[in-house]
Structure 1
Amino acid sequence: MNTPTTPKSPPRPPTGPCAAKPSAAPPAVGEPKGVAEGVPIAVRPDPQAGDGRFPIAWLHICAPRGTVPTATSKCLCGRDRSAVGHHKVLALIDDHEAHRDACPLRLPPEGRAAA
């Protein structure tokens, strides 16, 4: 004996006020949340001073296994050269090393006259 079943209707959404509580407003004045007392929040310059040196020339070599190597040599004086192939890349490496002595940015004019 089977009894007929009646289809159930979906529950109705609540029509009253929402049960969620509103979040508290963040403090308008004072320390930012999560900062410990006595911890400075201002960004200060890096205390480690450099020694005055900075790069002026770059040699980038890309030689993945099984492919043709490439290289680029760039300098702040305006020198920008590139090479493709084993022999040309090796020649560019030698040329880049020779450029160290000839670069006008590396040795100031008064240093060349004294040498």
Structure 2
Amino acid sequence: MTSPHAAGQRYLAAAGQPVTLPQIATVLRDRLGDGAARVARTEAPDWLVRTAARFVPALRELSGLLGRPKTVDNTKAITQLGWRPRSVADTVAATGESLLRLNPAAAVDR
């Protein structure tokens, strides 16, 4: 954020394209190999997750992510700063690799 254009501004640093949880799961399985052993292979319908969220607090946060993927606009960061986001696949894979380095036992299917 050393550009003079950045002074006093806020920029959205996001890939810009929406990504769904099933797409994230596919990337993780494709890129992490055995490290993705615990990544889900099936998708629960939205209605089921919303129903379960009434009883499982951890699902309440996820229920807001259901339905149509949320879109964001990173045009300002790209045009004013010349920023180029990484691809969604690269970002998801790097995040998964980082999490596995922090907790290698998480990759083991129990």
Q: Same fold by TM-score, threshold 0.5 exceeded?
A: no
Tell which structure's C-alpha radius of gyration is larger. 1
TM-score (norm 2): 0.23
Instruction: Indicate the structure with greater helix content.
Output: 2
Higher relative CO (Cα under 8 Å, sequence separation at least 6) belongs to 2
